[in-house]
């Protein structure tokens, strides 16, 4: 009779899925449904109030969605590879926490790079000015990272109990 010790799932699949899904939420909700901004809507050469500028912005949004799709694809492949290696499937809190943390990481990185450093777009250019919306976006991202990490840690503790058990 042989027994093997299962290991808890890795963090990468959940974070990759969270990064990609967070990007999809940003693109679908802020770019398409609310139309608050597009990828390069703050660049003078591509104003969204001209047809040519809007075409460039929609094309840039499309490339952005391809990148987020690739992150989701990478997360899915990493998850399947993890299971094929015999790792345990994650608990809901383990996985959901990583999804939220990944979404938050997306918001913080995208907010710092695109909104603050490159200034290619802002969350919104009206209603209080872009800085207040950008800071709110960063704060929301930081809360997602913190809340997601806390939820993940609770799930990781539970997974630690399961991983220590013998699988027969």
Q: Where are the domains of the chain?
A: 9-161
167: DSSP letter:
E
Say what the pLDDT of residue 5 is.
Answer: 63
C-alpha 57, offset from chain centre: 21
- Residue-wise DSSP of 53-98: HHHHHHHHHHHHHHHHHHHHHHHHHHHHHHHHTTPPPPPHHHHHHH
Predicted confidence at residue 2, as pLDDT, reads: 42
Query: pLDDT value at position 100?
Result: 98
- Which tokens go with 1? 């009779």
Nearest to 167 by CA among 1, 24, 6: 6
One pLDDT digit (tens) per residue for the chain, 168 residues: 444 566 888 999 999 999 999 999 999 999 999 999 999 998 989 988 899 999 999 999 999 999 999 999 999 999 999 999 988 889 999 999 999 999 999 999 999 999 999 999 999 977 667 899 999 999 999 999 999 999 999 999 987 765 544 333
pTM of the model: 0.88
Euclidean distance between CA atoms 161 and 149, whole angstroms: 18
């Amino acid at each position: 009779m042989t027994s093997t010790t299962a290991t808890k799932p890795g963090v990468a699949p959940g974070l990759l899925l969270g990064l990609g899904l967070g990007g999809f939420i940003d693109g679908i909700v802020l770019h398409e449904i609310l139309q608050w901004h597009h990828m390069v809507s703050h660049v003078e050469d591509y104003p969204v109030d001209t047809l040519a500028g809007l075409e460039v912005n929609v094309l840039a949004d499309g490339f952005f969605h391809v990148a987020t799709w690739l992150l989701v694809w990478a997360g899915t492949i990493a998850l399947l590879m993890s299971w094929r290696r015999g790792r345990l499937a994650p608990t809901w809190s383990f996985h959901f926490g990583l999804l939220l943390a990944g979404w938050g990481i997306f918001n913080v990185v995208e907010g710092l790079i695109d909104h603050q450093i490159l200034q290619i777009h802002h969350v919104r250019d009206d209603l209080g000015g872009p800085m207040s919306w950008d800071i709110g976006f960063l704060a929301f991202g930081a809360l997602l990272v913190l809340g997601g990490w806390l939820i993940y840690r609770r799930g990781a503790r539970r997974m630690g109990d399961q991983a220590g058990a013998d699988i027969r």
